[in-house]
Amino acid sequence: MRLLSVLLMMVMTVPTIAHESADWREYLQETESHFKATKKRKQKLMEYLPRFKNISGRKIVDIRFTTEFLNDWGRPVYKMNGKIVQDLKPGRRTSKKEFYAFPDDPYIFDDAYDKLEPRTREEGASQKVVVTSIRFANGEVINF
């Protein structure tokens, strides 16, 4: 019982301040995304991760985002939610060592791989990335 109360006190003392902000671009600069078709261990897959540069002046530890993949005409073909958990010091860019992988399932038609793979070959295809929240090292959370 005592251990439980100590754990509750520890959880309750973590400073988490959540508030709304006008624009995530005040804190992050979007850079070129990691987006490519590849093959690993005889499995075709799409690798994707948006990349950001920390321009906030504070250490960021968690970025949550939504990405819409658009076709040549600007219409969405696939939408995903994701997060990047990295220690991102001011002025640094997110690493592309960790990424989302969408495997090709030959038995399922129109899965994420089938929707995303043509985007790597189309000239007008793009992604629309929107950051939904940022968590700083001090525990502060900003939602957008």
Is the pLDDT score of 9 beyond 50? no
Whether residue 6 is contained in a domain is answered as no
Reported as a pLDDT band with limits 50, 70 and 90, residue 125 is: confident
**CB-based burial label for 46 (10 Å; 0-12, 13-18, 19+):** buried
Is the pLDDT score of 25 beyond 60? yes
Reported as a pLDDT band with limits 50, 70 and 90, residue 19 is: low
| pTM score | 0.80
Which pLDDT score, from 0 to 100, does residue 104 have?
A: 94
Average pLDDT, the chain: 86
Whether residue 5 is contained in a domain is answered as no
Whether residue 9 is contained in a domain is answered as no
Q: What residue numbers bound the domain in which 137 lies?
A: 16-143
Whether residue 7 is contained in a domain is answered as no
Amino acid identity of 109?
F
Q: How many domains does the chain have?
A: 1
CATH no. for residue 103? 2.60.40
Whether residue 47 is contained in a domain is answered as yes
Which pLDDT score, from 0 to 100, does residue 124 have?
A: 65
* Assigned token pair, 120: 């790597």
Provide the phi-psi class of 91: left if phi over 0, else alpha when psi is between -120 and 50, else beta. Answer: left
Q: Mean pLDDT throughout 17-44?
A: 86
| Burial state string for 98-136 with b = 16 or more CB within 10 A and e = fewer than 16 | ebbebebeeeeeeebbbbbeebeeeeebbbebebebbbb
